[in-house]
Amino acid sequence: MVQAVMRWRKVVWFLLPAFLLYTIFMVYPLVSALADSFFRWEGTARRDFAGTGNFSSLFSTFPLNHQLWPAFWHTMVFFAGTMVVQNTFGLLVAVLLFELPVARRFLRTVYTVPYLIGGLVVGYLWSLLLSPAFGPLNAFLHGVGLDSLARPWLGDPATALPVVILVNAWQYVGFPVLLFGAALAGLPPEYSEAARVDGANAWHRFRKVTLPLLLPSIGVVSILTFIGSMNTFELVYSLEGAQGNQPTGPGGATDVLGLIFYRVAFQEGGVNAIGQSSALAVLLFLFTFGIAVIANRIVRRREAALS
């Protein structure tokens, strides 16, 4: 009995620092934002109880009522595009590295390095590379005679959001590569060998054996991509600014929910900026958390069906 108590004390003391950090920097801001969303604010002074007034004002106050839904759909497109690129290209790279072990560690490092760089740094770097005035991409297109393809990539509404999606996928593709690589290494080799004995070629073995076994990992990558996409801000901000105000700006084509939250909290929210921004943060959290929980249950059921 005494040993059990001592063991639990050690566990508590071991977990206490992480628990305190999580409570201070995660739980408290969430609870604080929830409380702030139900009050009317004048600058930093909290006034009377507003009930759901801050929430309803998000959909009835100009210009929020004209910006919120387009930003929501842009965020969904941002997630879908990033998920497709990361799942397909990340899985392709992981399979190639698994089948071709030469320089595997070096190539994994190459794909992982952008993931370790901050979004602001990546955004400013790509804004220089894609600059219509002195960017090397347009210079290359002019140099090889493809002048018709050169354009202001971040200033054209037709290309701004796809370019941001590709840059985001480029930055984070290293994580799916590592995750898929670990999943491939953990697959039982007996299944693939049995399919080989039955005469299945490499493509059929991958499609009928490997890919179904990787579905739980694909689901995990998709869920994490969804959470990251719903919270994206610094990359879009560094590429397009808070207003998309490049010299030939895309006119809101890259508005995502993170930018709307920033503008409400620090630029356009007026005297009730804290109330409205807190309400938007609460809605964003509830939507992200709800979808992530549902998707996680689906993935777990799929994983249980495979075992």
Closest CA to 274 of 34, 23, 27: 34
Q: What is the dihedral of CA 257, 263, 266, 267, to 10 degrees?
A: -170
Burial category of 155 from C-beta neighbours within 10 Å (exposed 0-12, middle 13-18, buried 19 and up): buried
**Average pLDDT for 87-111:** 81
pLDDT given for residue 247 in this prediction:
43
Q: What is the pLDDT of residues 212-270, one digit of tens each?
A: 888 888 999 999 999 999 999 999 999 988 776 444 456 688 899 999 999 998 887 77
Question: 185-221 pLDDT, tens per residue?
Answer: 888 888 778 878 777 787 888 888 888 888 888 999 9
Q: Which are the contacts of 2, defined by CB distance < 8 A and separation ≥ 6?
A: none
From the list 148, 151, 124, the residue with the least C-alpha distance to 137 is 151
pLDDT, position 244: 60
Comparison of pLDDT for 4 and 14, the residue scoring more: 14
Instruction: Give the model confidence (pLDDT) of 20-42 as tens digits.
Output: 999 998 889 889 999 999 999 98
What does the pLDDT read at residue 307?
65
Write down the pLDDT at residue 249: 54
Q: What is the mean pLDDT of residues 292-307?
A: 84
Give, for 58, the enclosing helix (H) or strand (E): helix 53-58
| Domains of the chain and any CATH numbers | 68-306 (1.10.3720.10)
Average pLDDT over the chain reads 87
